[in-house]
Amino acid sequence: MKSLEDLARLREEVRERIKVREGAKAVRITVGMGTCGIAAGARDVMAALLDELAKRGLTDVTVTQTGCAGLCEYEPLVEVARPGQPKVTYSYVTPEKIRQIVAQHVVNGQIIGEWVLAAR
Amino acid sequence: MQELALHILDLFRNAVEAGARTVHVAVREDRTSDRLQIEVRDDGRGMTPDQVRTACDPFFTTRSTRRVGMGLALLQAAAEQAGGGLGIESTPGGGTRVVATFQLGHLDRAPLGDMAATLEVMAAEAGVQVEYEHWLDGRVFRFSTRELEERLGAEARGDPAVLTWVERHIREGEEALRSPVREYCKGVDAR
């Protein structure tokens, strides 16, 4: 399998990145992955998010998943916590939107106001 | 939910919420008997007989954020509309096993869908081991996060590059599983 050949190279690459990382990660992204989130498309949002982070080689971002927040009608929900900024919850996130959230908010610190459900 | 792969992810999330350390996922397709079986087995805290009885009731949930739990009810409906059904075995402290069966060729059977994306998202759950096997007429594709950690180190698993590798690897494995004819032709060409 071709993917198995890539694995050895990946091992070195990741080892280097972990060395660079050191200490606490700067940005935490949480994707709602309850039944409601999954039914609304959260899986593909998460896959697009991981793909975008991998492409950009971002090392200081942690991605976690959470269950239902009781706001099912706004799913998929994604929370971005960036040091020095309020925690922002984006609603109705799509794979296209999450790539833009990474570019604008995660990398450059610019909150995309029109997609925000709540900030605290 | 439009794909069975989404139901599988949902069952996995139930297992995580139940404190599972290892989750086994098996997809068994058999064209001769026209059956599809999906099994998700975990070592989480399990359920009491009363909880098992009400698990498929959409108005039962262990969650407190809202009072309905749709996941198992939706899977049961998807199985029953495709000539199958849903079974749950669970004991407190002994984990839970959910088995959904379908008539493989049933017109109303939802497609299996994107297992690569489902397993990528499952593998992203740190601290939970995933054992996956997909059988198709006696052939099998297997994937294990434990093996991946043995090769790369446990701390590497959450790296986005590793997780997108998982997605590519599963996609490749699933495609190879579905294309025995192409493999055979390649063999013929090589001679």
Q: What is the pLDDT of residues B154-163, one digit of tens each?
A: 888 999 999 9
Which residue numbers in chain B have pLDDT < 50?
A: 67-68, 190-191
Whether B81 and B108 have beta carbons less than 8 Å apart is answered as yes
Residues of chain A with pLDDT > 70, as a percent, come to: 95
Whether B169 and A3 have beta carbons less than 8 Å apart is answered as yes
The rounded distance, in Å, linking the Cα atoms of A12 and A19 is 11
At B62, which helix (H) or strand (E)?
A: none
The residue to which tokens 């309905």 are assigned: B68
The pLDDT of residue A32 is: 97
C-alpha distance from B38 to closest chain A C-alpha (Å) = 18
The pLDDT of residue B67 is: 47
Helix orientation angle between B115-123 and B4-17, rounded to the nearest 10 degrees: 20
Task: State whether residue B118 sits within 8 Å of chain A by CB.
Answer: yes
The pLDDT of residue A115 is: 97
Whether A90 and A42 have beta carbons less than 8 Å apart is answered as no
Strand partners, B96: B42, B90
The residue to which tokens 């975008």 are assigned: A52
Question: Chain B contacts of A47, Cβ < 8 Å?
Answer: 117, 120-121, 167
CATH superfamily of B4-190: Histidine kinase-like ATPase, C-terminal domain (3.30.565.10)
The residue type found at B145 is T
Closest C-alpha to A68, from B154, B16, B78, B186: B16
Residues in chain B: 191
Neighbouring CB atoms inside 10 A of A74's CB total 19
The rounded distance, in Å, linking the Cα atoms of A97 and A58 is 18
At B178, which helix (H) or strand (E)?
A: helix B160-178
Beta strands in A46-102 (DSSP E): 61-66, 78-81, 88-90
Task: State whether residue B60 sits within 8 Å of chain A by CB.
Answer: no
Which pLDDT tens digit goes with each residue over A59-117? 789 999 999 888 999 999 999 999 989 999 999 999 999 999 999 999 999 999 999 99
C-alpha distance from B154 to closest chain A C-alpha (Å) = 11
At A21, which helix (H) or strand (E)?
A: helix A2-21
Closest alpha carbon within chain A to B114: A44
Residue extents of the structural domains in chain B? 4-190
Of A38, A54, A70, the CB nearest to B66: A70
Q: Can you tell me the ipTM of this complex?
A: 0.91
Closest alpha carbon within chain A to B162: A10
The rounded distance, in Å, linking the Cα atoms of B94 and B4 is 26
Strand partners, B142: B133
At A72, which helix (H) or strand (E)?
A: none
The pLDDT of residue B181 is: 58
Closest alpha carbon within chain A to B65: A70
Pairing of strands B129-136, B22-30: parallel
Which pLDDT tens digit goes with each residue over A17-53? 777 665 556 899 999 999 999 999 999 999 999 999 9
Closest alpha carbon within chain B to A14: B156
C-alpha distance from A63 to closest chain B C-alpha (Å) = 8
Closest alpha carbon within chain B to A64: B125
The pLDDT of residue B60 is: 64
Whether A21 and A59 have beta carbons less than 8 Å apart is answered as yes
Task: State whether residue B125 sits within 8 Å of chain A by CB.
Answer: yes
Residue A50 to residue B6, Cβ atoms within 8 A: no
Helix orientation angle between B160-178 and A42-56, rounded to the nearest 10 degrees: 120
Whether B83 and B106 have beta carbons less than 8 Å apart is answered as yes
Vertex B187, ends B183 and B191: CA angle to 5°? 165
Pairing of strands A61-66, A27-32: parallel
Task: State whether residue B151 sits within 8 Å of chain A by CB.
Answer: yes
Closest C-alpha to A66, from A54, A74, A50, A77: A77
Task: State whether residue B120 sits within 8 Å of chain A by CB.
Answer: yes
A26-119: CATH class:
alpha beta
C-alpha distance from B57 to closest chain A C-alpha (Å) = 14
Order of all β-strands in the sheet with B35-42: B85-90, B96-103, B35-42, B22-30, B129-136, B139-144
